[in-house]
């Protein structure tokens, strides 16, 4: 029991200069508790545990379930404006620890708003940890356990090929912004879980796409977010990018795309995302 209470206290830490009882102790939620969620994955967990009715605002990545699109948006989770959040008069703000700066945390503290921050790791374990930490802190653990059981069942349905195809993820926002994904990204983690391997391992994060790097990587599959593929004019537009036709993916017309929020959120739908990606790359 003591260990359980200690774990709960440690997971509800803010990034303020000093930790007060208000910031570090999660209490049972009243029906009137107003929540602002600053992560699509967190919003999905809240909705999946019956707390969607308490959400009064979200970041722009919180679009599932569909009903969340109608909630007021407070910006991107990596560029949050405190004033927009405070205008919603929340009782509790929930976010990913690495996305909340000390300055932003201090603003919430000064305003007397409780802040609950959780870690996020882009892995199966990380997703389960996010769900369990969040639901434990909000005192809806049985519902969190149910979400994890569904996640396990979804992951069990993933069908991977014996040979690992080389997958290149390209992030695009029109022809003027085309980046290639290196190591350490959430998309790379998803590719590996789906039975593929990252075609680019020479650098971390993202770098501008060049024809030389594309040909050198020679992916078997090229992966986009749906929005990115559309911004380039679909597969026909991608085929016009210099170097594409020289790759195995270009020759075999193996250009695929997925919903970006589904693929990258690493929330309760992770198993569904990996099922879809595995089917498409294999």
pLDDT surpassing 90 at residue 13: no
End-to-end, the C-alpha distance of the chain in Å comes to: 46
Tokens 């208000």 belong to 22
Q: Residues 71-88: what's their mean pLDDT? A: 90
Q: Is the separation of the CB atoms in 162 and 195 below 8 Å?
A: no
Q: What is the pLDDT of residues 156-192, one digit of tens each?
A: 999 988 899 999 999 999 989 999 999 999 999 999 9
pLDDT surpassing 90 at residue 24: no
pLDDT confidence of residue 19: 36
Structural domains present in the chain: 2-155 (3.40.50.1980), 166-281 (3.40.50.1980)
Tell me the residue ranges of DSSP E strands in the chain: 35-37, 55-58, 92-96, 114-118, 166-172, 178-181, 197-198, 206-208, 221-225, 255-258
pLDDT confidence of residue 124: 98
Kindly indicate the confidence band of residue 28, based on its pLDDT and cuts at 50, 70 and 90. low
Q: Residues 86-92: what's their mean pLDDT? A: 96
pLDDT confidence of residue 27: 46
Q: Quick one: what percent of the chain has pLDDT higher than 90?
A: 84
Mean pLDDT of the chain, nearest integer: 90
Q: What is the pLDDT of residues 194-225, one digit of tens each?
A: 999 999 999 999 999 999 999 999 999 999 99
CA distance 254 to 189: 20
Alpha helices in 68-210 (DSSP H): 82-86, 102-111, 124-137, 141-155, 186-193
The predicted model scores a pTM of: 0.87
Give 67: exposed, middle or buried? Use CB within 10 Å, 0-12, 13-18, 19+: exposed
Q: What is the pLDDT of residues 231-276, one digit of tens each?
A: 999 999 999 999 999 999 999 999 999 999 999 999 999 999 999 9
């Amino acid at each position: 029991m003591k260990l359980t209470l200690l774990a709960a206290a440690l997971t509800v830490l803010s990034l303020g200069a000093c930790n007060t009882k208000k910031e570090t102790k999660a209490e049972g939620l009243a029906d009137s508790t107003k929540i602002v969620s600053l992560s699509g994955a967190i919003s999905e967990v809240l909705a999946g545990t019956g707390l969607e009715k308490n959400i009064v605002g979200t970041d722009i990545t919180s679009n599932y379930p569909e009903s969340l699109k109608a909630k007021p948006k407070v910006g991107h989770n990596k560029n949050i404006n405190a004033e927009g959040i405070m205008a919603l008069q929340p009782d509790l703000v929930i976010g990913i620890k690495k996305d909340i700066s000390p300055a932003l945390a201090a603003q919430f503290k000064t305003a007397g708003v409780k802040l609950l921050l959780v870690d996020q790791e882009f892995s199966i374990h990380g997703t389960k940890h996010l769900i369990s930490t969040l639901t434990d802190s909000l005192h809806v653990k049985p519902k969190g356990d149910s979400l994890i059981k569904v996640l396990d069942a979804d992951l069990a349905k993933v069908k991977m090929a014996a040979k690992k195809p080389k997958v290149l993820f390209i992030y695009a926002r029109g022809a003027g912004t085309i980046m290639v994904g290196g190591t350490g990204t959430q998309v790379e983690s998803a590719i590996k879980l789906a039975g593929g391997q990252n075609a680019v391992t020479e650098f971390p994060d993202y770098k501008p796409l060049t024809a030389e790097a594309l040909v050198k990587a020679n992916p078997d599959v090229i992966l986009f977010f749906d929005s990115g593929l559309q911004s380039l004019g679909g597969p026909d537009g991608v085929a016009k990018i210099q170097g594409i036709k020289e790759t195995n993916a270009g020759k075999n017309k193996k250009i695929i795309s997925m919903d970006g929020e589904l693929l990258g959120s690493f929330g309760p739908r992770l198993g569904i995302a990996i099922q879809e990606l595995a089917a498409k790359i294999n």
